[in-house]
Structure 1
């Protein structure tokens, strides 16, 4: 297995404006991905994604740094880096959401890269890579469902 990148493409029956909000605004992000999210949607902003209750020892708190934020077209960030280090190639994974208008909706292309560059032993690399595949396969459909529910409420 190459472990180079994970790529997924999905169509969402919502405009790029709505989809961009759903992937870049923490209020919306926590509706389809983590239990909580705290970050500003501006390049260079540092924040976090939280799975579980932050006040408990088993909470998973993951640092996130926004890399690019081009409304309605692109949102990218680095994550899974040591909390005491700035995110950079080699110590973090890089996620990009590219949005393209498609009919009445949006085609979303999500790419996650940087697995090999993390310096993990092969067993850890294999485990992390497969966990991320499973995670995206679970959460990306939720992104689409949430965006469509948001449109239906408007």
Structure 2
């Protein structure tokens, strides 16, 4: 099993500009992915993503890597708080947005699992957790963006 990269392609019935807003703006990110998102949509912005649960939740460090409206947004996350996000201590998520008909093809990619230096068991468990998570959250992105694009 390949445990290094998660890739998905999704079609969204919304313009690339709307989809870019949905994947990059913290106000929208917390509508489809996290319970809260605190960062600025500028390269180098450091912040955090929060996920609530019965035990109080989990906070993940988050650093914006690339902002190219309306075609590309990427960030690093899961690195130790207070450390600079770099290859080897974080995962890299990239959203590439391509106009397709009246909508947008979203090419999603998360990498960096092998580079973290985890034991095989931790790498596999983390990878599987992220596969499960993205399979749940990415369809919510599609729904949220389509609803926004339908705004009057």
- State the TM-score bracket (shorter-chain normalisation): over 0.9
Cα RMSD over matched residues? Answer: 1.2
Give the one of 60, 70, 90 matched to 1:72: 70
Alignment correspondent of 1:132:
130
> TM-score, with normalisation over the residues of structure 2?
0.97
Alignment correspondent of 1:51:
51
Stretches of structure 2 lacking an aligned partner (at least 5 in a row): none
Alignment correspondent of 2:61:
63
**Cα distance, 1:59 vs. partner?**
1.8
How do 1:33-52 and structure 2 match up within 5 A?
Answer: 33-52=33-52
How do 1:5-154 and structure 2 match up within 5 A?
Answer: 5-52=5-52, 58-154=56-152
What SS does structure 2 have at the residue aligned with 1:78?
strand
**Cα distance, 1:52 vs. partner?**
1.4
Give, in whole Å, the separation in 2 of the partners of 1:68 and 1:41.
9
**Cα distance, 1:2 vs. partner?**
2.1
> TM-score, with normalisation over the residues of structure 1?
0.95
Give, in whole Å, the separation in 2 of the partners of 1:57 and 1:142.
24
What SS does structure 2 have at the residue aligned with 1:153?
coil
**Cα distance, 1:151 vs. partner?**
1.7
Q: How many residues align?
A: 152
Superposed structure 1 runs of 4+ greater than 3 Å apart: none
